[in-house]
Each structure stands twice: as C-alpha cells, then as structure tokens.
Structure 1
Amino acid sequence: MPSRALGKLCGAGLVMGLAFAAVVAALQVVGEGTGQAAVAPRPPPLLPPGADPYNPPFALEGGSGPAIGDGLRTAGPGETVTLAGSDFAAGTVFEVFSQARGRAGAVVRLAPDYVGPAAATLALPSSLPVGAMHLLRARSAKGYGPAFAINRTETWWLGPDAAAAGERFAVYGRNLSDPDGSRAAIYLKTAANDGRFLPIVTANPYRVEVRTPALPPGSYEVWAHNGRGGRLGWSGPLTLKIRAAPVWSKHARTVVDVADFGARGDGASDDGAAIEAALDAAERAAPSTLRFGRGVYLSRRSFRAPSGVRWLGVGRDATALRLAARLDAQGFLYAGGDVRDVAFEALTIDADRRVSAQDRALIALGGARIRIADSRLNSWGGETLRITARALVIDRNEITGAGSFLGVSEQVFATGNVFRMTSDAEAAVTSWGGRGLALIGNLLVNADPSRADGSGIGRLFVAQGHFGSVRDAYFSGNETRNAAPRDCAAVDCNKGEQIIFEFGGVALLGRASALSPTTVTIPRLSPAPGATRGDVVIAAGRGAGQRRRVLSIEGHVVTFDRPWTVQPDRTSSQFYVTPVAERAVVYRNRFQGRKTYAAHDSNSTAVLVWGLCFDMVVADNDISRMRHGVMAAATSGTPQDSVSAPFFTLVEGNRIRAVNNGIYTGLTFGYDSHPDVLGGVGNVFRRNDIRDVAHIGLATDLWDSRGGDVIAPVFERNRVLGAPYGMVTGLKLIWAGRLFRSVPSGRGRLLGAGLRGNVFVRGPLLSPGSIGYWAGRGVLWSTRGDRWSGFRAGNGPAP
C-alpha cells in the first residue's frame, strides 16, 4: 500500500468501503500467529489518547522474498530478535521500520547476526525509539518478504469470558501495556457502529483487568491496544458474553437449612441422612442455597452434588462437614454426570486420611460454572479436587492433601489459595489439556515437614498433553516455600519443578502426500493420544517451527485452523500431530526450593519449559534455592521419540539467587532422530540477574545424538555473579559434575548461538579450577560486548 494512503488510514478515526477492505488485507500479514486476524474494529474507534502515529512506507504484504514464519515478538532497541522462516540465505538482509510519538518514522537496514536455512537472528538498532512497535521484513535477490511485527499488542484469551455488569474480567496476552502498566487500552464494541473504551482497573504487559459495563445481555467484541503502531496496533477480537445478572444471585432466593431436616452438627451424631434429605429438597428448589449452621456435621455417606445448589456455611472456622467413614464413592461430594452452577462456600470439608484410591477425591465433579470459595478442604493422603469443568473458580481456600487434577478444564481461576501439600504428591494443580488457566496470588507450602507424609514433591502446577494441548496460562503473585523433593533416598528426585510444561514423547510422522492451505495428508499418520485436541507442527524442512491447531482428523487428513505463513512442501517438510503447550506467562512470582539445593540431586526448578512448547514467557520472578533456576530444554526421551523442543521462549528480568545452576537450556536425553528435525529455535534469555551459584551460571547442554540441532539461542545482558563456572556448553551437563566434555563430531550441533552484553564475575571466593567460559570442540558462540573477570581460566572465549 502506498505510504500516503496508509498514513491517511493510520491518522483517521474511520475507514469505510473499499479502503477498509484494503487495509484489512494488509493488516493480516502482521498478525499474532494465533489465528486472529490482525485488524481493527469496524468501524474502528479513534486511537487511544497518546497513541503513536504509524505510517510504514512499504507494502506490508511483501513479495516473493524470504518469509518470516514466526519469531520472538518482544524486543527493545539493541536487543535481539530471533526468527524462523524460509528462503533465508547468506545474502539475506533485513529492514526495520519504527515510529513513535514525537519522532518521524524511519526505515533502517541491518545485517543479521546469524542466518541459516530455517532461522535468523538480528539485533535491533540502538537508535530505534524506546517503547515502539517495529515492522521487520527480509530481503534477498528474490525481493521482499511480508512484514513481521515486534512489540505489537497480542490478545490471547479473555477470562472470565462471561460476566455481569460490575464484575471484573481480564484480557490476557503479550505486549498489552508498557512495563509499568501504562498505555493499555481496552475497547468494547457495543454495536455495529458504536463502542467504548473501558476504564483500566489494573494492567501489566500480560494482563489487563477492567469492569464489565452495564449493557444489555449478549455477546460483545473486545479489542486491545498498547499505544504503539497506530491503526496497526489493534489486536482482537475476543468475545465477552455479558449476563443479565451474576450467576449466583438467584441461589440466595431459596434457602434450605439442614437443621430443618434434623441435622445436629454436634460432632457426634451421623447427620448423613438429614443432609441427604435437605439436599433433595434444595435440588427440587434449585437454584437454591443449602445452608449449614455453626457446628461439625458428621456423615458416613458421600453426597451427590446436584446442579444449581450452593453449599454454604457460616465460615470455615465455624462450619465443618466431615466424612466419618472410608470413602466409598468417587468423591465425598461428587456428581453422577455433568452439573452446572454448583458452589461450596464458607465451610470446612474434611475427609482426613479417608481418601486413598487414585481415582477418588474429596470433591469430584464435571460440568460448568463450579465455585469453591472461602473454605478449608482437607484430604490428607488423598486427592483434593478431581474436576473437569468450564468456568471453575477456586478462590481463597486452604487446601490440604495430595493435590488436584483438573483434566481438560477451561476458564480456571485459582486465586488467593494456600495449598498445603502431603504424601510427596505430584502437584497442587495438574492439567492434561486445559485452556485458559490463571493462578494468581496462591501460596504453596508443605503441610507438616516434621512428618514423613507431610510434604509435597515441590510442584505448584504440572501441564502435560495426555488429553490435548495446554493453551493460555497465566501465573502471577504466587509464592512457594521450601518446595522440592524432601529426600532422594525416599522419593523420586527427578521432580520438584514448581511450574512445569512437560511435552515430550512425540513421533515424527514424515512427509505429506498432499497439502492445501488448511489441510495436510500424511500417509503415516498415527495420531498421538490427545492429538484431536492438539496441533500439527512442522518439525523439519520448509516452514519448520510453525504450528496450527487441529480442527479434525479424518483418516490420514488433518484439518487445521488457518493457513501457514510459510507454506510447507512435500519434499522437505516433516510433521508432528501432537499436543503442545503454547502461550503461557509466568510473571512476578516468588519461588523457593530447599536449602539442600546444591547437594541434593533433585530436579527442583522454578519453571521448566520442557519439550514442544511455543511462546512461553518467564519474566520478573524471584527465584532461590533451586537445582536449576529456570530450564528451557529439548528432549527425545526414549529411542522411539523424535525431538520435542521449545520455540521462542523468553526468560527475562528474573532475579535468581542461591542455585546450583542459574539458567539451563539446550538438548537433554537425546536419541537419534531425523537429521533435519529442529531442537528448538530462538529461545532468548535476557536481563536476568543470577548470583550465588554453586555450579554453572549459564548452562547449555548438548547430547551425542543425531538430529535436534539447537538453533539460535541467545543470552543477552545477563549478570552472573559468584559462580565457579560462568558459561558452559558441553556434553550431558545434566550429569557432568565438574568434568566437562565435548560433543562428538557431527552430533548435538549448536547453530547461530549468541552472547550479547553479558557480565560474568567469579566474586570473592576464587576457587581452584574456576572457569569463566567453556565450550566443547566445534561449539561456537558469537560474542559481542560480553565480559568475564576473576576466574582462574576462561575469562572469555579464545580469540
């Protein structure tokens, strides 16, 4: 599009007719890579107050030049952008356009730091404006490729996605605001030609909270803008359903009191039959409230929780419902099928040491709109919650037991809870294919460390793909204390990752026999468990590093949600069809392991991004007493697996103290795979402050296997203070101790790796044998502006 025409569109408040159609076509090429069209509301609103002007002087669609398939989408002046694409070659150069308030737009040409067939890295010029959106495009002898946006607003999900007037909801995503929460704007489209900006309640770059306005019930579009990029800066739409009234408002109209049916609450009588009778009456009157007065209500039976009934006490310190016999059903409180609008509030629900079977829990439910709030749940020795539901709220509870399994639950909000772990349990919360998960302000502790069964294994959250991809997760304000495996002689110490996304075990399905924009036919198709709720991923060849969401699998044909940015081919492209993890943010949490982190060979880690994971962010966390501060690594796990690897993980601005290893990346537990399969692309570790390290500050592990090349990892502007080994790249570091080895020639390759502006200082304890930089034979890191000091050897790479 000519710059003059696009400039007119960017400065105007309205776009109509054919002009609007033209700008929509142009905007779609700078989308988030998430399935949303990168367009503005139609008719679009005026830009938010103070938004940047934005007038790119080139056509956004590009021509036949190199195409950027995906990349790291957050970077400032002087920082590195990592990219996956096609047709990159030795002569490929890049152009970047930026424009901000008070500065004219300009195009800067720059050479990449690394360019290979599947990936490239480049440093944005330091002269670019701070806090601006940047449009990047590649050029080769064939011409220009389409534009790719850096720092553009990205809306990922809405939660809750249904609310009544006055209730809060949040937009979750990336680049939603400036780092201090300023410049965020949320726009609600109220009609075909109308809309409004909503006042911001709280904001950070990954979550913006607003209140639902008083509008007629119905579905509304929600859009976001971060003040950058002019008309190109809009992201959306997401859909908000506005309800006529809060879900729980009708429950208060009919109250059924268990005392009216003979329940005594004296802590001695069996009140089971009386509660059952009251519950039957509450079900007939639903929506209703089943009320428990002050006291301890014993029951030797379990209860079926019907739809539309709210269980309400007078406070968790005043009202207790206690199981007085061994659990003989799937839950003390359970549902025979799917239920809706069920709540448990202001009471203690206690089945202490009476929940033992693996497939049973204190509360076992499925359905929609389930709320557990202001309560105390006790299932010491057994699972607390086994719930698969849409719209699940777990709010301000004290939860004691062996963790909770949430299956494929969606729209889950766990806020302000205290998780007291027992029985060396796997995790406080486990998801096997959930969507839209927010854990905010929770505390993870061991219930009673003085007892052999009074601790957990150290995990707050586990995501695995047994039932499908895990998408859209947000963790903030959480705290863990003394969280790690307690004793390697007694428990499995290959655990302790406090937040883990574990997505290994993938099978390479080979080439396609037919391709269309939204289908791929794979003769060897044998979908992994959960693949129908998973993704199709290009693992090697043209288009590698892209993934699309599976819509259906019929025979050998996989249909997915949107066309590829870089179209694969039938000769080089190789495919997975498998669950993945995508779009998770771990932001401003406090993670603490055990004091034995250096001597205790557990896998205690604040955050582990393991295997096939995309667009993961670990930012601004406080981390201490870990075996590994943060890990982002590829694996092939078993001889039957191909390589599963993370793409475009950003680990940024974390404060990591008193750890064995600071940051750990690369390929671990590798087996031979197809030589072109990627071992990850473009994972960036930026501005982390790492101190008091017992072993390695920045560790990059490689394996003696074929395939799974680790491409374009970047460490930039990190500080490593007080580490005996500053930066190490070697063979099987996970087991290496203090004897580092090189990878055999032709195995475990590291390509396009970059060090930029890092500082490594040994500190006052100058131990014999300390090494600032060590890389095995054939391993090459390009360095720029890095400094090493105080080490016995290796104060920088050899010239």
Structure 2
Amino acid sequence: MSENRRSKGICVTVVSVLAVLASFASPAGPGFAAEAAPASDDVDVFQPPSITPARGAGVIVDGLRSAQPGEIVTLAGDFGEKVSGFETFGQTAAGNAVRRTVKPIRIDAGSAVIKLPEGLPPHSTYLIWPKSRAGYGAPFAVNQTEVWWIGPKAARGGEPVSVFGRNLTGPGRSPRVVIRPADRDGAWRPASIVRANPFRLELIMPDLAPGEYELKAHNGRGGDLGWSQRLRFVIESGAAPASPQTFDVKTFGATGDGVQNDGPAIAAALAAAAAAAPSTLYFPPGRYLCDRALIAPSGVEWRGAGRQASTLAFSVELRTLDAPAFIHSRGEASHVTFDGLTIEADGKVGGPDGGLVSLSGSRLRFTKVKLSSWGGLTLRLAADDVTIEDSDIVGPGSFLKSSSQAFISGTTFQMTNDGESAIASWGGRDIAMTGNRLVNADESRADGHGVGRLFVAQPHLGRTRNLYFSGNETVNAAPRDCAEVDCNKGEQIILEFGGVLLRPRPVSIGPSSVTFRAQDGLEIEPGFDVVVSGGRGFGQRRRIVSAEKGKLTLDRPWDVTPDAKASRFFVTPVAERAVVYRNRFEGRRTHSQHDSNSTATLVWGLCFDVVVADNDISRMRHGVMVAATSGTKRDSVSAPFFALVEDNRISDGWNGLYTGLTFGFDTDPVVAGGVGTVFRRNDIRRMSNIGVAFDTWDTRGGDFSATVFERNQIEQVRYGVVSGLKLIWSNGAFAPTPADGTRLRQTVLHANRIDGLGSGARGAAFRSDRFQDWIDIGGTWSGFPPGDRPPRGKDRD
C-alpha cells in the first residue's frame, strides 16, 4: 500500500507487517509477538497497512503502552530533527479501520508526546509509526497484550495458575489463553480462564501429560497479530502422593503444658520425621516450650491442631544459641510446610541478624499459621516457590532476600518495633501480594507500631521484576512520631532503585553488546542491566547475559545503536514490570503535622513499566510519588521510565501527586531525571497543600522529559499545580528553581479539572518558574484567586 493511502478501503495482508514486527518481539521491546496463534471469533479484525521501514527514518525504542483515543502517549527514541509527525492506526472490525497522521505536542531528539486521534476506534490495539522525509520507522504498539510471568510456574492439571502482565483484558472482548507443548509444533488448546482483570488472568490448568509447555494470551484486540509472547511452565505428575507418616511430639515425651521444657522431645520427634520424610511432625493442642534451635529438614510438614490450639514457644534468647534463627535450614531445604500452628519467640529474637524462621531452598509453605517475633525478624527466606497464606505475621518485618515465585495472600501483618517493612526484597522476582492487611500490632505500646511499609524492593542482590499487588489494605500506616522515629519512611509500597554510578565511556559497541575497559573496575553480578541514560539510544535497557573482560553481551540487539563517545550508560540492577492495582492504602491522621514520607506507592529511581491503578488512598503526605534521585555526591541521577498512575482516588492528604527530583547533586554530563510518566484520570480531593507537586533541585542534571498530567480531577486543594525548588520540604513557601537547576521539558497538562478551596483560598491554580516548559491543553481552573496559569497549547488531533 502506498504511504498516502488512508483508512478508506484498507484491506491488506499482514505478512510484511508481521516480518517487521517480529524483530520487536521481546517482552521489553515495542511491537508484537513474532507469530500468530490460530484466529478465533473472539479476536477482532486488525489489518494494518503494509509499511516497510526506511533506512534513516526515526526509531521508537520504548513508550507508554496503554491509552485510548484522545489520550496521550509518551515515547522515547531516535527522533532528531527528522521526525515531523507520527502515523497512527486502529481497527476493531472490518469496516472501521482508521489511519491518521498526528503532529507531536512536544518532541526533541530523544522523546516525544503525542495524542492519539479522537477518531480512532475505541478499545483497539494502536500502531504508531515515526514519520520523516526518509519515510516511516518501525511501528510501536499500544494496548498490546503483554504476558510478563506465570505463577506458580509448575502445577498439576486442575490446579489454579495465574498469568500476570499488562493489557490482558479490555471492554467488549474476552481474553484468551492457549497452551501447547514446548519446543515442538502442535495444536494450541484453550485454557479455562476463571477470573480476569487487566493485569492478571486466573486459570485452571487443563489435564495434560507431565512435561514442559508454553502459553500465550490475547486480549481480543489486534487480530492475528495481537498474541503475546510465550511463557513457559511445567505440568507435574498428577499422581497423588502417598500418605505421609505422622510423628506426634507427645509420643516422644512432650507435655504441651506450657511449663515443662519440651525441647528434647521435639528434637527427637523431628529427627524421626526427617529420617522418614516425606512426613508430618504433629503438635496436638497445647503450648510447647522449647529451649533450643531446630533444623527444618526437607520433606517435613510441621502441623498443629490450629493456630489457636497449638503453640511452639521458644523459651530462651537466640543470642545464647549458636544458630541464625530458632528454626532454620542446614543448606538447601525443599518441600517444607508449616500449617495450623503458632510459633513465637517474642522478645527473644533480638537484633537485625536474628530471625524466628530462616530457610533457604524451594517449595516453602506457611498456611494458617501465626508467627510472632516482637524485637526481631520473623521470616528470613531465600527460596524459589514460597507460599504464605491465611496467616498472622507479628513482628518488625520479614526478609525475602532474592526469593522468586513468592505468593503472599490473606495474611495480616501486625507490625512492631517501628519495623522497616512487612516484606523486604533485594532482587526478588515473580512476587504477588494479594488480599493482605497491614496494621500496627498494639498502638497502646510504643513498640507496637511499624513505619507504614508493606513492601520494599531494593537492588542489593540484582534486578527486581514482575511484581503484583492487589486487594491489600493498610490501616493507620506511617511513622508514629517524627521526634522518635526516622520519618524519611512510610512509603507503603516502595521500589527504591537510586544511587547508581555512570560508567566511563565504552571502548566499543556491538549490535548486542557494549565493551568497557576492564581496568575501569566494572563489577558485574547476576541480575545486572545496561541502561542508556543519555545521548543516542537514550531510554533503552538490556539485561546482561554474560560478561568477559569488560565486554557485556546483552539479551537482545539495540533498537538504536548507542554512540560510544556521546551516549552514557548505567550498569546496575533495575526494577521493572510492577503493578499496584485495587488496593486500599491509609496513612495516619497526623500526616499534615508529621513531615514523614508516608506515601501509598513510591516509584524511586531506575524503574521501568510500573503501573499504579485504581487504588483508594487517604491520609498520606504524598498520595503517589514517581521520583528521581542522585543519592550522594558520587552518584548519578536514577530516573524512572514510563510509569503510569491512573484512576486512583486520593483524598484527605497533604500532596496528591508528587513527582520530580529528590536529593540532587550536580551530574556531568547532565543525565535525565525521568521520562514518559503519565498521571491519568486520578480523582484528588481535600489536599491540605498541593494537588500536583513537581519537585526541582538547584543542581545540574535530573531533567524530566515528557511528563503528562491528563484528565485528572482535583478539588479542594490549597494549591493546584506547583513546580518549584525542594517541594518535598516546603510548606507553602515556594522557592524558585535556578535557571541552571532541574529543567522540565515537554510537561503537558491535558484536559484536567482543577478546583481550589473556593472563596478566600490562599493558593494559586498554577505556579512554576517561567523558564520551565509547561503547556496546558483543554484544562479548566476554578476556585482560586487570580494568579498564574500555564501557557495554553493547541489540541493537536
């Protein structure tokens, strides 16, 4: 089809488009999967024009992946001065294909802001091509079905399994999942979906022969090209296990009277159970005192008569024992279960290095248990395949280290000792927290509080990827008193990936590699990534698959080959692919008096593809934060990329939405502070301070590009939208940003409704330093005294 053809009469084959898009089939890259599964009546019609990318045309390397007609998409790529517009296409039926060219709202060499035309069919997959004199670049897909991970990754036929990702469902169509054996051709067969939301599909595994399989999903949009990439999983044997032998601790002399020491009897029963594993160690109703640490053997289930009936209580302090925890593994342990039992060591665990239960291995289960450890860590786990469900966890927190395939559900975390977080992860992956509750254990006691953190992810042991939080609830969760507690805390879910160093310029760059001088002290650990943080190829990230003498081989080729002289690189772990969906987050009533960092979700530093959607948020210092940081004087700026914050309800707080740079130091050369974040359709009410706060710093570097606030409704706020110096510490006295400080580029306000406190309001609708790049399209402002307004822009549709 010629380039000037439009939607009328579009009817083409998809072969050439498929060939182009196949090169972008990776989970992190733009485009579609490389092959189609069989068509179905559940899949719409999607016949995009056949456009061959031209040499020297613009390239889109990444962008925001979810939008509807009339909404904005942010993009990163190689645009230079050559890209003048973008071609868009959408279709859901044979007669409604629409192809339109749009001018960007804002564009520079490395990023762009465009609006999807109102005339595109709603709820379609959309393609976007960069357009220049040289021709068209390769297309980028919006609303494409993305499958990120599956869990559990090993299951039997008839068992529930979930597929996690993005754009998994949409109005008017039913999602589909198909399965076939891995590594060989064969017919795809459908899987039964029992529940679905845009980020999770819950399946029942079909009755298949044991072996390795693959699946792919379709959200009903995008026709034959709309299938996701594949995920692999394992079907295990469905044979029922033999009934395990049970070892009753009372048979070995335990009394369970809560007075006598049952340690020797428990140890003897445990040794017998270990010798006969798989087996069950049984605690009848009673309270069993234990004076020693216990080793958890593989294949042994620790079972009580119910957490209210059976208690294993440790009667000595851990520091008196030569053990890392009261219950621990010797090496790797597998198939270890705790069920229907209370285990407690209140006041006896002590110190950050201790623990109530510390296990390494695989297939660890905690079901209907109560684990209590006032004064020290409750759980310390380093394992693959962890389940914690329908339990009570009491203490200052638990540590998952770099565990993977962790499923935590229906559990109440009762926080003590101003504990850092209910769950902390250092490089974990495939983690789902659903239907949990975070509370303070006893608010009448000074040591009966936490600091409000449900989950903390940090990069100490590698990248964090594939996180899902839904249906969780927090109650009165924040630091209790800034005079007694470090109040730079309180982020209820935080991805904390700041403080990274720019690498020296590389020696050479290959199609899928980058080489640094070995003597530059480059240290590569498993789970590291390469991020292009400036110059040509900006915005790309690649996983390192091998490193040898400074040469880093990457998981896939560059979309735009960086420039060895001008491009800048991070070599570091990142956080990627996280969803915070339909949770209820509550801070403390004292949020306006205590200058804590209480926040429902903080996306901080090098984080990619994070979605915070449809949450209820109240009583926070900051409702949702997406921020960059340079950490210390020797670090560079760590920037978030393409976060989406949408459809949240934020009320009765200090600031509604908060973004920008925190804790800045000069960077040379200047490195971006954030790219492509979109805040969309959030409802923000009764903020004591600012509806939208955009923080800046008096340092070079940390500039933000392509930040969008669209279709938000902001009511009863003292200040509407403010950008200024160090807002995180401001209380209405806003200082200007120096002209050589943080620069805001391509900052777009689109179709927002912003109302102040009404008559006598002391705030302003909009306040920003004049040299910053702001534009307002279609916004309405009311309830403020006369004052600043952002520059008006043209609605490019």
Name which of structure 1's ranges 776-785 and 587-596 shifts more when overlaid on structure 2.
Answer: 776-785
Cα deviation for residue 53 of structure 1 reads 1.0
Contact 1:527 1:578 in 2 (8 A): no
Show the 5 A alignment for 1:51-70.
51-59=43-51, 61=53, 63-70=55-62
Cα deviation for residue 516 of structure 1 reads 1.3
- In the superposition, relative to structure 1, how do residues 81 and 525 fare at CA in structure 2: closer, same or farther (>3 Å)? farther
Give the equivalent residue in structure 2 for 1:509: 503
Give the equivalent residue in structure 1 for 2:533: 539
The equivalent position to 1:786 in structure 2, one of 779, 785, 789, is: 779
Letter in 2 for 1:75: A
- In the superposition, relative to structure 1, how do residues 271 and 48 fare at CA in structure 2: closer, same or farther (>3 Å)? farther
Cα deviation for residue 374 of structure 1 reads 0.5
Q: Secondary structure at the match of 1:274?
A: helix
Give the equivalent residue in structure 2 for 1:15: none
Quote the Cα distance in structure 2 between the aligned partners of 1:496 and 1:688: 22
Are 1:298 and 2:292 matched, yes or no?
Answer: no
Quote the Cα distance in structure 2 between the aligned partners of 1:437 and 1:136: 32
Letter in 1 for 2:591: Y
Give the equivalent residue in structure 2 for 1:13: none
Give the equivalent residue in structure 2 for 1:554: 548
Quote the Cα distance in structure 1 between the aligned partners of 2:171 and 2:669: 41
Name which of structure 1's ranges 376-385 and 190-199 shifts more when overlaid on structure 2.
Answer: 190-199
Quote the Cα distance in structure 2 between the aligned partners of 1:448 and 1:600: 20
The equivalent position to 1:636 in structure 2, one of 622, 630, 643, is: 630
Q: Secondary structure at the match of 1:341?
A: strand
The equivalent position to 1:712 in structure 2, one of 691, 696, 706, is: 706
The equivalent position to 1:183 in structure 2, one of 145, 152, 174, is: 174
Q: Secondary structure at the match of 1:673?
A: coil
Q: Secondary structure at the match of 2:208?
A: coil
- In the superposition, relative to structure 1, how do residues 367 and 60 fare at CA in structure 2: closer, same or farther (>3 Å)? farther
Name which of structure 1's ranges 216-225 and 170-179 shifts more when overlaid on structure 2.
Answer: 170-179
Quote the Cα distance in structure 1 between the aligned partners of 2:760 and 2:275: 75
Give the equivalent residue in structure 1 for 2:720: 726
Quote the Cα distance in structure 2 between the aligned partners of 1:56 and 1:8: 7
The equivalent position to 1:262 in structure 2, one of 247, 253, 275, is: 253
Are 1:218 and 2:211 matched, yes or no?
Answer: yes
The equivalent position to 2:459 in structure 1, one of 446, 465, 468, is: 465
Name which of structure 1's ranges 720-729 and 742-751 shifts more when overlaid on structure 2.
Answer: 742-751
Q: Identity rate of aligned residues, in percent?
A: 49
Cα deviation for residue 254 of structure 1 reads 2.0
Cα deviation for residue 368 of structure 1 reads 0.6
Q: Secondary structure at the match of 2:359?
A: strand
Contact 1:532 1:553 in 2 (8 A): no
Contact 2:213 2:234 in 1 (8 A): yes
- In the superposition, relative to structure 1, how do residues 38 and 757 fare at CA in structure 2: closer, same or farther (>3 Å)? closer
Contact 1:469 1:530 in 2 (8 A): no
Q: Secondary structure at the match of 2:270?
A: helix
How many residue pairs match? The answer is 782
Give the equivalent residue in structure 2 for 1:107: 99
Are 1:49 and 2:59 matched, yes or no?
Answer: no
Contact 1:251 1:310 in 2 (8 A): no
Name which of structure 1's ranges 702-711 and 650-659 shifts more when overlaid on structure 2.
Answer: 702-711
Show the 5 A alignment for 1:397-546.
397-523=391-517, 531-546=525-540
Name which of structure 1's ranges 182-191 and 67-76 shifts more when overlaid on structure 2.
Answer: 182-191
Q: Secondary structure at the match of 1:264?
A: coil
Contact 1:496 1:603 in 2 (8 A): yes
Contact 2:654 2:687 in 1 (8 A): yes
Letter in 1 for 2:771: G
- In the superposition, relative to structure 1, how do residues 239 and 46 fare at CA in structure 2: closer, same or farther (>3 Å)? same
Are 1:314 and 2:308 matched, yes or no?
Answer: no
Contact 1:476 1:589 in 2 (8 A): yes
Q: CA RMSD in A?
A: 2.1
Letter in 2 for 1:621: N
Quote the Cα distance in structure 1 between the aligned partners of 2:99 and 2:687: 43
Quote the Cα distance in structure 1 between the aligned partners of 2:265 and 2:295: 14
Contact 1:29 1:146 in 2 (8 A): no
Describe the superposition over 1:485-504 as per-residue Cα deviations: whole angstroms up to 9, x where unpaired: 00000010000000000111
Show the 5 A alignment for 1:365-376.
365-376=359-370
Contact 2:686 2:715 in 1 (8 A): yes
Are 1:245 and 2:238 matched, yes or no?
Answer: yes
Quote the Cα distance in structure 1 between the aligned partners of 2:75 and 2:530: 19
Letter in 2 for 1:576: F
- In the superposition, relative to structure 1, how do residues 631 and 526 fare at CA in structure 2: closer, same or farther (>3 Å)? farther
Cα deviation for residue 8 of structure 1 reads 7.3
Quote the Cα distance in structure 2 between the aligned partners of 1:88 and 1:262: 79
Give the equivalent residue in structure 1 for 2:336: 342
Cα deviation for residue 26 of structure 1 reads 2.9
TM-score by length of 1: 0.95
Letter in 1 for 2:79: D
TM-score by length of 2: 0.95
Describe the superposition over 1:241-285 as per-residue Cα deviations: whole angstroms up to 9, x where unpaired: 001138xx5374322222221222121221111111111111111
Show the 5 A alignment for 1:2-13.
none
Cα deviation for residue 581 of structure 1 reads 0.6
Cα deviation for residue 318 of structure 1 reads 0.8
Contact 1:99 1:129 in 2 (8 A): yes
Contact 1:509 1:524 in 2 (8 A): no
Letter in 2 for 1:653: D
- In the superposition, relative to structure 1, how do residues 316 and 525 fare at CA in structure 2: closer, same or farther (>3 Å)? farther
Cα deviation for residue 697 of structure 1 reads 0.2
Runs of 5+ unmatched residues, structure 1? 11-18
Cα deviation for residue 90 of structure 1 reads 6.4
- In the superposition, relative to structure 1, how do residues 74 and 37 fare at CA in structure 2: closer, same or farther (>3 Å)? closer
Name which of structure 1's ranges 737-746 and 320-329 shifts more when overlaid on structure 2.
Answer: 737-746
Cα deviation for residue 527 of structure 1 reads 7.0
